[in-house]
């Protein structure tokens, strides 16, 4: 099986430079010459692939690929970081993904809170938080649940199991399609097509994107994360533009099924309600956040610890994260990029997470 | 953070499975959302398998690429 698959992946040539240059040539041939074409992706991993493999250098000068709000850590509002810090200060053990640790709250990050004595622990999976809570029943544990639809099902499964009584959740999950819709309302962005995120789509399937081609006349292609996947998606989109069509296509059919993952969707539906949510740098978006259902409220850390921060300080003076997050400017157009704001000493959330646009660009520029 | 990595299922015990990420990297993950068989490849994100991968699907990608490139 392994040998067969390795032979097969060789045959698929996911990173083949010759195939890349063949596709790039076709992209150049089909890209309209008389105007700027701007495609937007909404996934930090896509930004990594595009930057790491230098894919922008293969595209015509008038074809831009911009990064939308695709980093789930970057868009967690400061108020929700503040809540996690408050919970830790009340004596609970706060568990979170490593990326979340250094994201700035209104005054400090979870890492700084840890340095001051709070018990904050990094986990690889929500399951680790469950195990920690089981082995230490005398302590309260909180899982700070950050992530898009790719991550939310795992939180849902553990919340429904049910979890140990000494574990509760601060749910900061967000949904991608409402953020994509928001971008279309930003007048001067003028997006001509969406590269939809492959691993979010592995869960939600194709249906939630249907409105983009149908209502907004926006070519939309779900793409995988190898360089050939991304180039192929761009090619499929310029092809649609040249035909004057706008349809939803699935380049990542090897992972993304039209129906997504029904079991994951079922778990999410049972555990969460969809509600309005704040996004750092963007503001409040309707139907874009998940919150635990009323039946699970005893596992809601907001209620268990009586914390609710209505408003936080999302963007520090001089930081342009709010413009980077929506693709309005490139990281190197922020005056702080790699001067006052570096991966070692990040000012804005986009420089913290390995999927933040500024962080991805910092690695490429060093 | 939506990074997900393919791995091969080696042992299944209820909701959990030991998976092989290649080059000797083994880890226990939750497979309740995909219910794979031993030998299946799954895509793992944050300790959970979120989708199954099979040869047929992978070959379809190849066919799709060929089709798209041939059609121009």
The per-residue pLDDT for B64 is 74
A–B: how many Cβ contacts below 8 A?
Answer: 129
A65: Cβ–Cβ under 8 A, 6 or more apart, which residues? A38, A39, A40, A41, A50, A55, A56, A59, A195, A234
Each residue's pLDDT tens digit, A230-264: 999 999 999 999 999 999 999 999 999 999 999 99
Q: What is the mean pLDDT of chain A?
A: 94
Q: How far is CA A194 from the centre of its chain?
A: 15
ipTM of model: 0.90
The residue among B48 and A188 whose pLDDT is bigger is B48
Each residue's pLDDT tens digit, A48-104: 999 999 999 999 999 999 999 999 999 999 999 999 999 999 999 999 999 999 999
Structure tokens of A106?
């209104």
Nearest-neighbour CA in chain A from B62: distance (Å):
6
pTM (2 d.p.): 0.94
Using an 8 Å CB-CB cutoff, list chain B residues near A5: 41, 55, 58
Q: Which long-range contacts (CB under 8 A, 24 or more apart) does B12-16 make?
A: B12/B36, B12/B37, B12/B38
Comparing alpha-carbon positions, the chain B residue that sits nearest to A158 is B30
CA angle A60, A63, A64 (to 5 degrees): 125
Confidence class of residue B5 from pLDDT cuts 50, 70 and 90?
A: confident
Is A12 close to B72, i.e. CB distance below 8 A?
no
Each residue's pLDDT tens digit, A173-219: 999 999 999 999 887 789 999 999 999 999 999 999 999 999 999 99
**Cα distances (angstroms) measured from residue B53 to each of A343, B45, B57:** 35, 14, 7
Comparing alpha-carbon positions, the chain B residue that sits nearest to A199 is B2
The strand pairing partners of A292, in sequence order, are: A272
The per-residue pLDDT for A1 is 44
Structure tokens of A270?
């049972």
The per-residue pLDDT for A365 is 63
Residues in chain B: 72
Examine the pLDDT at A9 and tell me if it is beyond 60: no
Question: Across residues A148-163, what is the average pLDDT?
Answer: 97
**Cα distances (angstroms) measured from residue A164 to each of A14, A67, A96, A301:** 43, 39, 17, 13
Using an 8 Å CB-CB cutoff, list chain A residues near B2: 43-45, 70, 72, 147-148, 150-151, 197, 199-200, 355
Burial A317-344 (b: 16+ CB within 10 A, else e): eebbbbbbbbbbbbbeebebbbeebbbe
The per-residue pLDDT for A5 is 54
Each residue's pLDDT tens digit, A102-132: 999 999 999 999 999 999 999 999 999 999 9
Question: Across residues A283-312, what is the average pLDDT?
Answer: 97
């Amino acid at each position: 099986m392994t040998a067969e698959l390795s032979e097969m992946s060789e045959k698929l040539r996911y990173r083949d430079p010759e195939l890349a240059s063949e596709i790039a040539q076709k992209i150049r041939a089909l890209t309209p010459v008389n105007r700027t074409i701007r495609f937007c992706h909404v996934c930090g991993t896509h930004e990594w692939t595009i930057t790491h493999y230098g894919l922008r250098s293969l595209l015509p000068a008038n074809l831009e690929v911009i990064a939308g709000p695709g980093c789930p850590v970057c868009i967690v509002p400061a108020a929700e970081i503040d809540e996690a810090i408050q919970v830790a200060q009340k004596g609970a053990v706060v568990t979170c993904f490593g990326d979340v640790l250094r994201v700035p709250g209104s005054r400090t990050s979870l890492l700084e809170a840890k340095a001051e004595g709070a018990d904050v622990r990094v986990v690889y999976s929500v399951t680790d938080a469950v195990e920690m809570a089981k082995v230490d029943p005398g302590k309260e544990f909180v899982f700070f649940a950050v992530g898009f639809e790719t991550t939310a099902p795992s939180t849902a499964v553990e919340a429904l199991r049910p979890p140990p009584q000494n574990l509760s959740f601060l749910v900061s999950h967000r949904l991608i399609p409402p953020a994509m819709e928001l971008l279309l309302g930003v007048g001067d962005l003028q997006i001509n097509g969406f590269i939809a995120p492959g691993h979010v789509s592995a869960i939600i399937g194709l249906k939630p994107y249907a409105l983009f081609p149908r209502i907004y006349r926006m070519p939309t292609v779900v793409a995988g994360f190898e360089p050939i996947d991304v180039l192929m998606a761009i090619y499929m989109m310029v092809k649609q533009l040249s035909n004057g069509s706008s349809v939803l296509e699935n380049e990542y059919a090897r992972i993304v099924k039209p129906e997504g993952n029904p079991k994951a969707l079922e778990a999410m539906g049972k555990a969460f309600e969809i509600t309005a949510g704040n996004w750092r740098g963007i503001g409040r978006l309707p139907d874009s956040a998940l919150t635990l259902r009323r039946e699970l409220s005893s596992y809601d850390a907001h209620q268990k610890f009586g914390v609710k921060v209505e408003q936080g300080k999302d963007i520090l003076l001089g930081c342009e994260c709010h413009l980077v997050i929506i693709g309005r400017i490139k990281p190197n157009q922020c005056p702080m990029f790699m001067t006052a704001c570096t991966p070692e000493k990040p000012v804005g959330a986009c420089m913290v997470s390995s999927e933040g646009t500024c962080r991805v660009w910092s690695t490429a520029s060093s | 953070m939506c990074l997900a990595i393919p791995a091969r299922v080696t042992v299944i015990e209820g909701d959990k499975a030991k998976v092989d990420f290649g080059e000797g990297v083994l880890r226990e993950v939750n497979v309740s959302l995909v219910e794979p068989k031993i030998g299946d490849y799954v895509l793992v994100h944050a300790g959970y398998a979120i989708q199954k991968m099979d040869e047929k699907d992978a070959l379809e990608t190849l066919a799709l690429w060929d089709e798209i490139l041939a059609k121009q």
